[in-house]
Every structure is written in structure tokens, then in C-alpha cells.
Amino acid sequence: MVQTTSSPATKEAKKSSMPVLAGGIAIGIALSAAFFAGHQFWPTPSGLPTPSAHAPIAQSQAPTGAFLSMAENTIADMASKASESVVNIDISKNIQVPTVGFNSPFQFFFGNGMEQNGAPRKFQQHGSGSGVVIRQDGYILTNNHVVGQADEIKVTLNDKREFQGKVVGRDSFTDLALVKIDATGLPIAQLGTSKNLRPGDWAIAIGSPLGLDHSVTMGIISALGRSLSDINSVDFIQTDAAINPGNSGGPLLNIRGEVIGLNTAIRGDGQNIGFAIPIDIAKEVVDQLVKGGTIKRPYVGIYMQDLNEKIAHAIGVPANTKGVLIAKVEPEGPAARGGLTAGDVIEKVDGKPVLTSKEVQKQIRSHKVDETVDFLVLRNGALTAATVKLGDYPQRDQVEH
């Protein structure tokens, strides 16, 4: 799959004794008043007078304490119910490093004597994240970077029961993984939809930040369609909730307690800037992972940058050039085999003009693995045609079958 360059996002989901793995996220949610039709407003409680439109402003009354208590209980009850399907995931990985020694004190200072000495040193790397039960027979959805290449996965349910988990499917492109435990009759999450979300909608995140399991945070949806190419080409939900390492893989909920996203990443250079994978994308991935364990995705093997006047000047093309710059080509990838090179400006894909990297990605995703795609690129002042046979997106951390 094509990738684009952008400002870095920090994956952080797993709290670890080692540096935090890039890409964890939490998303929070705020809330107020009563919640009707999924939105916030202040309806007049039964039995309370409606202030007159002509009454002085100073005489208008705020909602009563009983009404506020009702709203707070609504959120608490919803979070309590949703928490039943949220799990804590602890992982451990065995690490070996060579033991290095010196033959004499002189070699320590002057070198030329360092060599491996004895058996390699062994230690365990630990981390933690979150997950969501999606099937009663023990299927749990989480982030791929949470489980990584773990040698052991321990899943702790809301009722404190512990199980050994096994990765049965993963998709590094969307950073999603499916973990299976030997259990039945589990409470499952209520999956909603991410199609009708709007900036400003309430959102609630549940997870295990810093190992504090089943923590609930609140905020709003800050934006939609965010692209973080260093995490993968997914249009993320952005939220302003407070999140920390360990939240990755946990659910982002709407005001009705439905899962609308899976917490995945935060911006390390900012505050209250988090990202979640839309649940509709996760649903598609899960269906395929349950069936086959992996997902085939068309792959070109290029890194792209949207063209502007500054970049056009830097690469020596006219300022009014329209297209997408190929910043890097993966060696021996489909694009390289098809004749595309770094510095090419993509003007058309399959005969259709493209102005942004997202438009190129859309054209690529309309094809299947092993199909061909026609590119028209600007190279050294001349238009050049290239045909690329699409490969299969390389899966990092493949599941062994």
C-alpha cells in the first residue's frame, strides 16, 4: 500500500520498562446534562417551570442538583456497562544480548581486544495495553503494536479472571490484531458506527493507562479524517481526551456506550491530541482476520508528498505543476520494478488526474493484488508512462500458522 510522509505521531499504547512503543492512544469523552438523540442539551425536567422569554436574565435558573445527578449517573452507568467487555493485556518478550568482555585492562582502554565472552545475557521486556471483547467465545480486538512479537500474552478480564492469549490474526496496515482466549459466555462490546460522527460529539475512552486498568476518561471528537502516514494510511478519529501509555487497544465510545473507534496513537509533541481507528474499518478487518488470519492489500512501495510551490521550486519544476511527488521508492518493491523513481511527479493514475496523495491511494485501493496500474509521471521535464504490477502489502509481525 502506498504511504505518505507527514508529521510524526507517537505510538505509545504499551507501558513498558523499555521506551514506550510508538502508537498507543486513548480517547476521552466529556459529557453534560441529559443525553437525547446522542447529543447534549438541557431539556426541562418534568415538574420544573419553563423560564419566561421576558424574565430577567438574572432570574433564569440552572438545572437542579437532582438533574445533574441524573446526567452523571447516566455516564457512570454507561461506562460501567461498557467496561465489562474491556480487558487488560500484559505482554512479555524474551530478549538476548551478547556478553562483551576484554582480555586485559589495557585492552579496555586501548581497544583491539573486545570479544564475546560466555553466554548471551537474557532478560524480559514487559508491556501492557488494552483490548475489547467482540465475541462471546473469546475473540478480543486490540492494536497490533500492543501484542507485537510477544512470547507471552496475559489477558485479564473485568472480573479479574486471567487467561493466556494467542494472536490469531493481525493487520499491520491498520495496526489491528485479533487475540483469542479459551473462554465462553463473555460479555461483548456493543459496536456502533463511525460513519455519522461529527467534531464536537462526545466520546468516552476506557483502557489501562500506565497499567491502571479500566480507567475512564472523557472528551470530545476534535476532528475526523486525520492521516498519520507513519502509523499507516488510515483516516483516524482525533480526540482531545487525556490518554497515556497503556490505553492503546481500548474502546472509544459514543454517548450511548457504543464503540466508535479503537484508541491507537497520540502526538508526543502535543497535549490532548489522540487518534483512534474508526470502528467501521475495524469491522471489515476483523471479518477477514477471523476467516484467514491475514489480509491482502494492494501495495506499490512509494512514499509521497503533496506538491506545492516551495517543493516544486526545490525539485526544479514549474510552480504551477499539478501532481504528487514520489519522495522515496522502496528498493525491489513493485514501483521500483515498474520503473518509478524518487523525484517523479505523478500526474495521472489509470488516466485520472491526481492532486493529492490521498487521491493516489484511492486509485490504488480500487485494485487487487497482482493487478496492474498505469502511471503518468513528470520526469526531467518530460511525461513518462510506467505500468506497475501491484504487490501484497508486507505484513510485519506475521502470525505463524
Catalytically active residues, by annotation? 145, 175, 248
Taking the C-alpha atoms of residue 386 and residue 354, their distance in angstroms, rounded to an integer, is: 15
Q: Are strands 391-392 and 298-299 parallel, antiparallel or unpaired?
A: antiparallel
The rounded distance, in Å, linking the Cα atoms of 344 and 331 is 15
Is there a contact between 370 and 390 (Cβ–Cβ < 8 Å)?
yes
Which residues sit opposite 138 in a β-bridge? none
Q: Which of 84, 25, 31 is nearest to 203 (CA)?
A: 31
Q: How many C-beta atoms lie closer than 10 Å to residue 194's C-beta?
A: 24
Measured CA distances, 269 to 6, 8, 322 (Å): 14, 9, 32
Task: Determine how many CB atoms are found less than 10 A away from the CB of residue 350.
Answer: 14
Q: What is the SS3 assignment for 155?
A: strand
Does residue 68 contact residue 76 with C-beta atoms inside 8 Å?
Answer: no
User: How far is CA 249 from each of CA 22, 169, 260, 322, 364, rounded to the nearest angstrom?
Assistant: 13, 15, 13, 39, 28
Name the CA radius of gyration of the chain, rounded.
26
The 10 Å Cβ neighbour count of residue 241 is 27
Alpha-helical segments (H) within 222-352:
279-292, 309-315, 334-338
CA–CA distance, 277 with 188 (Å, rounded to integer) = 19
- What single-letter DSSP state applies at residue 24? -
